[in-house]
Amino acid sequence: MMTKLTIKHIDELQLTGYSTSVPLPTMENVEEVSKQKTAHFGSLAKSGKFGALMAGSRDKIGYAVGTTSSDSLSYFAGANTTTVVEDAEQLILPANDYVVLTAEGGQSRKLFDQLIRQFFGEILPNHPELEYEDTYVIEMLVNGNPMDAVVELAVPVTGTARSL
């Protein structure tokens, strides 16, 4: 897997989609959490809900946002879409600077899991100037093909991020 790392400002994103709750990832349960994330996307794809969101997508990117609380991870799957869906949720992410890791050539879930491990296991511990407040991470499927994916992981940071 080839990984590219950049710092990028992302404007406010208004996403429409669906959330599920999964356990907080730990070293012991990371595989199970990953399976639950995949199952959430799969159920939205099978029901046609995700396709409906993507039909009105402004940028043709599939988004997932993991937001931590004290006892679980809210996993939101959606799109930056003009489609109005009654049972969907709105999620607004603020404009911010992000560490963006890009990878391609494999299944999207596996690539996202590798990028998450790389950011939290290698990049963050080795760059104390980065401040991550453990709020959320954004997973983006850029090319629309989850089996031969181009993905980006965006992690909001503050501090002197330009030094990477």
CA dihedral for 8, 150, 139, 126, sign (positive or negative):
negative
How much is the pLDDT for 160? 53
Tell how far CA 45 is from the center of its chain: 17
Do 81 and 56 meet the contact criterion of CB atoms below 8 Å apart? Answer: yes
Domains in the chain: boundaries: 2-163
pLDDT value of residue 95: 92
CA-to-CA distance for 33 and 68, rounded, in angstroms? 13
pLDDT(63) > 90? yes
Quick one: pLDDT at residue 72? 86
**Adjacent-strand bridge partners of 99:** 7, 155
- The CATH topology of domain 2-163 is Multidrug-efflux Transporter 1 Regulator Bmrr; Chain A (3.20.80)
Could you read off the pLDDT of 80-117 as tens digits, one per residue?
999 998 899 999 999 999 999 999 999 999 999 999 98
29-43 pLDDT per residue, tens:
888 999 999 999 999
